[in-house]
A and B are shown apart, each in its own frame.
Chain A
Amino acid sequence: MTQYIIRRLLQMIPITLGILTLIFSLIHLIPGDPAVQIAGEGARPEDVHAVRVALGLDQPLWKQYITYLDHLAHGNLGTSFRTGTSVAKEIRDRYPATIQLALGSMLVALLVAFPLGIISAIYRNSWIDNVARFFALIGVSMPSFWFGPLLIIAFAINHPWFPVSGREGGFKSIVLPSVTMGLALAAILTRMIRVSLAEELNQLYVTTAIAKGVTRAKAIFRHALKNALIPVITILALQFGSLLTGAIITEQIFSWPGLGRLLVQSITTRDYPQVQASILVIALTYILVNFFSDLLYGVVDPRIKLE
């Protein structure tokens, strides 16, 4: 196992370095002179110069890159143009809200997908299975920026059970954003569980268990489901990463004060250090989550480690 972890860690290094380089280059992709663009049209030359110095754009490229990596290594993500404070602080404030939303959506997805997936595997090709399939299809095709507003119309305006937006309402305020973001994941998981469990139910060990007098329910839940969950766990972990980008849109719909909303706000105000840092944190979280889901895969299915 240790060897496997080390190998995966080593594989992560070049990719992480590539991501850092790409994010570093972003500011140099700004058309024209980045300093002029950032300072804004009609800015005085001294303001442009100040921006150039603040961002280190007056230094040679290689030096800028080294400084960038050095700052990162010391946890210095830069200073926000808008607030003048450390961007890391802003990210620290917003990060929990995004993680909370991602966990909320995952919970919604699990609550929907488990019963639906198990029922449709047991009663495969019945009407229940078809309904579940239709739900899954709608779930993956429905864009969150449409589903969210529909939920707001139904459950915040027509029936004011939940707040329209924000995070101040405690538990109630996380329900609609979680359902919005959890729907697509629920759809994917339902199909995964259905396919995986249906396959296991056809295995001889299930037939043997039933033949030996184990109840059908026990054969399903104690024997088949356990094996069926292996691929599902991995998908779940992998999907957690994509929930992070889903959060960018969902947070915008519900004015949820998380990292995604911070990113969009910083783009609108051309606060590039904040933009770079937010993208970096989202990308790194994604890589880390993928890393752990790989490890998890190695734990639940020992054959993987041999590859």
Chain B
Amino acid sequence: MKRFKRLLRNFAFTFGLVLTVLLVLAALAAPLLSPYDPDVQDTSRRLEAPSHEHLLGLDDLGRDVLSRIVWGARVSLRVGFSVVILASLLGVTLGAIAGYFGGAADVIVMRICDILLAFPGILLAIALVAVLGPSLNNVILALATIGWVGYARLVRGQVLKVREMEYVTAAKALGAKSPRVIVRHVLPNVVNPVIVMATLGLAGAILSEASLSFLGLGVQPPTPSWGAMLTAGRRYLGLANHLAIFPGAAIMLAVMGLNFLGDGLIDALDPKYRKDF
């Protein structure tokens, strides 16, 4: 608690926390918060500029932009959380196995990591979505496929260190089986850096989903996604700038909030892991 209070005095962390809470609230309370139905079209009023009635204006099909941004938070967070959960489960498991058992398991897992890391940025995700077809689930699958590598490498590194500790040797000497040693004695040591990586990973996944949707490879219409809204907005630059400005601002605030939060958490949970990120 003391540590948390000290953290709150850190401006970046508090700012990040506030933005993240707002993001989660928007996603959870979307039906209550959004002033209009995000899918209802009023084509007679397309591209209308922001007004008292529609605070952020109307889009190219006459839908309320604010409502679509609020509902878009759901899509972003759904992708973000799904990717982080899938990637961390897979990454932690494989990283723990590779680090604990070493040998062939280690070589195989690490070589797969090397190959996946040899692809720049989201190129591999783009490739996967290209063959699997653009959809929300395929975006999650593609991002999780490239996302687990970071966790695996982090966990493997920590496990290699912990494996040699005396208490692990003691547990083994007392007859504990490998799975028990890993789950009870090794993994609790890597929880903190994994939490930090997951927070930063959430920001990364949201940004990647927006990028894929912007390229037309992500969430398909009419589901409101911030990235896809920006693509539509790009077509009306000069005519209706609000279509590009507001969804982009939403993405930036969400990503910035989570990055600040993650950065603050590094100091709070365990500063000695800073070099790992």
Count of B interface residues, CB-CB < 8 Å: 41
Whether, in the assembled complex, B8 has its beta carbon less than 8 Å from a beta carbon of chain A, the answer is no
Q: In the assembled complex, which residues on chain B have CB atoms less than 8 Å from the CB atom of A23?
A: 127
Whether, in the assembled complex, B69 has its beta carbon less than 8 Å from a beta carbon of chain A, the answer is no
Q: In the assembled complex, which residues on chain B have CB atoms less than 8 Å from the CB atom of A263?
A: 126
Q: In the assembled complex, which residues on chain B have CB atoms less than 8 Å from the CB atom of A30?
A: 131-132
Evaluate contact between A157 and B252: CB separation under 8 angstroms: no
Whether, in the assembled complex, B120 has its beta carbon less than 8 Å from a beta carbon of chain A, the answer is yes
Whether, in the assembled complex, A152 has its beta carbon less than 8 Å from a beta carbon of chain B, the answer is yes
Residue-wise, chain B 136-152 has the 8 Å CB interface mask toward A (1 for contact) of 00000000000000000
Docked Cα-Cα span, A14 to B241, in Å, equals 48
Evaluate contact between A146 and B123: CB separation under 8 angstroms: no
B237 in complex: contacting residue of A141, A142, A157, A286, CB < 8 Å? A157
Q: Which of A15-69 contact B (CB under 8 A)?
A: 15-16, 18-19, 22-23, 26-27, 29-31
Whether, in the assembled complex, A268 has its beta carbon less than 8 Å from a beta carbon of chain B, the answer is yes
B126 in complex: contacting residue of A16, A145, A267, CB < 8 Å? A267
- Chain A CB within 10 Å — which of B120, B133, B233 has the most? B120
Evaluate contact between B118 and A286: CB separation under 8 angstroms: yes
Docked Cα-Cα span, A150 to B247, in Å, equals 12
Evaluate contact between A244 and B120: CB separation under 8 angstroms: yes
Within the complex, what minimum Cβ distance (angstroms) separates A172 from chain B? 18
Evaluate contact between A286 and B120: CB separation under 8 angstroms: yes
Q: Which of B213-266 contact A (CB under 8 A)?
A: 214-217, 227, 230, 233-234, 237-238, 241, 244-245, 248-249, 251-252, 255-256, 259
Q: In the assembled complex, which residues on chain A have CB atoms less than 8 Å from the CB atom of B215?
A: 248-249, 252, 264
Evaluate contact between A29 and B131: CB separation under 8 angstroms: yes
Q: In the assembled complex, which residues on chain A have CB atoms less than 8 Å from the CB atom of B233?
A: 149
Evaluate contact between B245 and A150: CB separation under 8 angstroms: yes
Evaluate contact between A14 and B123: CB separation under 8 angstroms: no
Interface SS majority for chain A:
helix
Interface SS majority for chain B:
helix
Minimal Cβ-Cβ distance residue in B for A270? B130
**Interface residue stretch chosen among A185-193, A275-283, A293-301:** A275-283
Evaluate contact between B210 and A31: CB separation under 8 angstroms: no
Whether, in the assembled complex, B121 has its beta carbon less than 8 Å from a beta carbon of chain A, the answer is yes
Minimal Cβ-Cβ distance residue in A for B118? A15
Docked Cα-Cα span, A200 to B114, in Å, equals 33
Evaluate contact between B130 and A267: CB separation under 8 angstroms: yes
Within the complex, what minimum Cβ distance (angstroms) separates A207 from chain B? 28
Q: In the assembled complex, which residues on chain B have CB atoms less than 8 Å from the CB atom of A166?
A: none
Evaluate contact between A143 and B252: CB separation under 8 angstroms: yes
Within the complex, what minimum Cβ distance (angstroms) separates A242 from chain B? 5
Within the complex, what minimum Cβ distance (angstroms) separates B179 from chain A? 30
A153-B241, A244-B120 given as contacts; is B127 within 8 A of A275 (CB)?
Answer: yes
Within the complex, what minimum Cβ distance (angstroms) separates B91 from chain A? 18
Residue-wise, chain B 200-211 has the 8 Å CB interface mask toward A (1 for contact) of 000000010011
Evaluate contact between A279 and B252: CB separation under 8 angstroms: no
Within the complex, what minimum Cβ distance (angstroms) separates A119 from chain B? 22
Within the complex, what minimum Cβ distance (angstroms) separates A137 from chain B? 8
Whether, in the assembled complex, B115 has its beta carbon less than 8 Å from a beta carbon of chain A, the answer is yes
Evaluate contact between A245 and B122: CB separation under 8 angstroms: yes
Within the complex, what minimum Cβ distance (angstroms) separates B118 from chain A? 5
Whether, in the assembled complex, B111 has its beta carbon less than 8 Å from a beta carbon of chain A, the answer is yes
Whether, in the assembled complex, A164 has its beta carbon less than 8 Å from a beta carbon of chain B, the answer is yes
Count of A interface residues, CB-CB < 8 Å: 45
Evaluate contact between A153 and B127: CB separation under 8 angstroms: no
Whether, in the assembled complex, A253 has its beta carbon less than 8 Å from a beta carbon of chain B, the answer is yes
Whether, in the assembled complex, B187 has its beta carbon less than 8 Å from a beta carbon of chain A, the answer is no
Within the complex, what minimum Cβ distance (angstroms) separates A254 from chain B? 10
Q: In the assembled complex, which residues on chain B have CB atoms less than 8 Å from the CB atom of A19?
A: 115, 118-119
Minimal Cβ-Cβ distance residue in B for A16? B118
Q: In the assembled complex, which residues on chain B have CB atoms less than 8 Å from the CB atom of A248?
A: 123, 126, 215
Evaluate contact between A18 and B238: CB separation under 8 angstroms: no
Docked Cα-Cα span, A267 to B142, in Å, equals 15
Q: In the assembled complex, which residues on chain B have CB atoms less than 8 Å from the CB atom of A279?
A: 123, 126-127
Q: In the assembled complex, which residues on chain B have CB atoms less than 8 Å from the CB atom of A246?
A: 121
Within the complex, what minimum Cβ distance (angstroms) separates B152 from chain A? 16
Within the complex, what minimum Cβ distance (angstroms) separates B272 from chain A? 19
Docked Cα-Cα span, A264 to B123, in Å, equals 11
Docked Cα-Cα span, A259 to B141, in Å, equals 25
Docked Cα-Cα span, A164 to B239, in Å, equals 13
Give 17 A-B contacts (CB < 8 Å), ordered by A residue. Answer: A14-B111, A15-B114, A15-B115, A18-B118, A23-B127, A26-B128, A29-B131, A141-B259, A143-B211, A145-B248, A146-B230, A153-B241, A241-B120, A242-B121, A267-B217, A283-B118, A287-B118
Top 3 closest A-B pairs, CB basis? A146-B248, A18-B115, A245-B121
Q: Given A22-B115, A153-B241, A244-B123, list of 17 further CB < 8 A pairs? A: A16-B118, A18-B111, A18-B118, A26-B127, A26-B128, A26-B130, A141-B255, A143-B248, A145-B227, A146-B249, A149-B233, A150-B248, A264-B216, A279-B126, A283-B118, A283-B120, A286-B119
On B, residues with C-beta under 8 Å from A are 111-112, 114-115, 118-124, 126-128, 130-133, 207, 210-211, 214-217, 227, 230, 233-234, 237-238, 241, 244-245, 248-249, 251-252, 255-256, 259
